[in-house]
Chains A and B, each alone.
Chain A
Amino acid sequence: MKVPARARARVFLRSLFLQASWNTQGMQNLGFAWAIAPALEVLYPDPKARAAAGARHLEFFNCHPYAAAAILGAAVRLEEEIAAGAQGPAASTALKKALGPPFAALGDGFFWLALRPLASLLGVCGALVWRAPGAFLLLFAYDLVHLPARVWLFQRGYDQGPGVVEAVQRLRVPRATALLKLGAAALLGGFAALLLRGAAVEHGLALSLSTAAAAAAAWALLPRVRMGTLVALAAVAGLALGGRFH
């Protein structure tokens, strides 16, 4: 029996809430079980069988919340086979254990450590150039990539089951990650140049140089000194310099 498209769409929408009950013991276990529930309703009309299938999905699970969409899609496909008797119930545990860690690493590297900093810096540059409306460039840059990626991962997971690994490998994500990080670094350099020039033009060369000196000093002190300490020092130094932002 196939899970109809409508139920699969509900599973996908629920995957957007995967971490609502993130916990220290099972991590995303309850989120995963809640997300896959619409598919279980179709596959197991008997409440007792459905509860048993739900309990199976309450085992430990943790992954990157976007990349988990691929595993959720593959788990729906696998549940179809388990319900039909073509696979044993242990297959879903094996799937999650096998795919969870590599997809977590891939998602953390690409989305958290590359795409998000790049989008953040685009937003900060946007706010510098276009004032408040420019800040929303962050959302535009990030969501234009991440939302289609979540849909694609879920669909590929459902279509290909464990074969989703090969589909993702073909995307060359590590190379894209490195390029995004270098793009973010270039953007940060450009932002610093605009900022220092603006400070020199509007407030004098001394302020521009003190900003550059603060950046260099902080670079040398991080991460040995806690950020909270550095923020307090920078704030006090800023107040000693005295000033108005406008």
Chain B
Amino acid sequence: MLPLPPGGWSELIRDAAVGAAVSGLLAVERKGALQLMLSRPLVAGTLLGLLLGDPQDGAAAGALLELLFLGAVNLGGSVPPNETLLACALASALVPAGRALGHGADGPLVVLGLLALFPLADVGRWLERRGEERNSALARRALERAQAGDPAGLSLHLRGLTGPFFTSAALCGLGTLGSPLLAWAGAAMDRTPFGAGDSLFVLVGLGLAVSLRALREARAPKVALASALALGLLLAGVAP
């Protein structure tokens, strides 16, 4: 029997609808519209956590992904891994799974979710490339209509937003509906000898190194080390 949230399948379906709609909007915001950074993993994870019933779990998963994807940027025509799709899918699956287990998304559950869903970042990149190729056809059609004397063809532009919305919504909705499997695996993990301690900290260590590299500044390692030592000594002096 798969673990389900307290409200059963009806609650899970409602969560999937909410997660899908918000994830679709965030996918659009990531590149096609506004770019206010609502789609960054930290904000997306927290927002979805808030809407699905546990903002703290969403923020914890989002913060980890924020560190891991600090350097994921569109420079020129490059397409980085899609950190927003991963963050939305992870939060959409983790929060209901944590509620199903009754204790929230603990370390092993986050790590299992990340392992299972991490390939979505590359899937998202592949989907983005395909979308850009489809958009080339939109631009060609707009040009043909403009050359034929029809200025209204320019409004084809907004159709480019539909692809990211629907693919992200579908994948994240499926993530929520698949969350009982994650909850089942998480419960199984708790029964193994590896069920104690803090499994997230190794990933956080990796996140620190990735973030430092992402700054692309020669003096950054020295400044970060000096800052860490200064604050460490200060904290040791205040509360040894």
Contacts and interface: CB of A to CB of B under 8 A. Distances in A.
A182 B118 CA distance: 30
Interface residues on A, range: 35 or more
Where chain B touches its partner, the secondary structure class is: helix
Interface stretch (B7-15, B39-47, B174-182): B39-47
B208 interface: yes
A197 B105 CA distance: 23
A242 interface: yes
A228 B118 contact: yes
A23 B133 contact: yes
A127 B34 contact: no
Contacts of B147: 51, 55
B211 interface: yes
Contacts of B55: 132-133
A242 B206 contact: no
A185 B155 contact: no
A215 B213 contact: no
Contacts of A187: 227
B205 A213 contact: yes
Interface in A195-218: 195-197, 199, 203, 207, 210-218
Interface in B118-161: 118-119, 121-122, 129, 132-133, 135-136, 138-140, 142-143, 145-151, 153-161
B59 interface: yes
A123 interface: yes
Contacts of A127: 42, 46, 59-60, 62-63
A89 interface: no
A66 B36 CA distance: 11
A51 B146 contact: yes
Contacts of B232: 193, 196-197
Contacts of B104: 246
Contacts of A37: 151, 154
Contact of B212 (A51, A219, A235): A219
B200 A238 contact: yes
Contact of B151 (A40, A112, A232): A40
A20 B145 CA distance: 19
Nearest to A65: B35
Given A20-B160, A242-B195, A189 B223 contact: yes
A212 B229 CA distance: 13
Interface string A86-98: 0000000000000
B167 interface: no
A226 B197 CA distance: 27
Given A193-B228, A228-B122, A231-B118, A51 B201 contact: no
Interface string A103-134: 01000100011001101110110011001111
B50 interface: yes
Contacts of A195: 204, 208
Contact of B200 (A139, A146, A196, A245): A245
B212 A20 contact: no
A226 to B, nearest CB: 10
A192 B228 contact: yes
Contacts of B1: none
A234 B205 contact: yes
Contact of B202 (A47, A58, A131, A210): A210
A231 B71 CA distance: 15
Given A185-B217, A185-B223, A143 B36 contact: yes
Contacts of A148: none
A132 B57 CA distance: 8
Given A135-B46, A189-B227, A232 B115 contact: yes
Contact of A189 (B114, B151, B231): B231
A176 interface: no
Contact of A132 (B50, B111, B215): B50
10 contacts: A17-B33, A20-B157, A30-B135, A33-B157, A37-B154, A139-B38, A185-B212, A188-B220, A197-B235, A243-B107
Of all A-B residue pairs in the complex, the 5 with the closest CB atoms, nearest first, are A214-B205, A189-B227, A21-B160, A238-B199, A218-B209
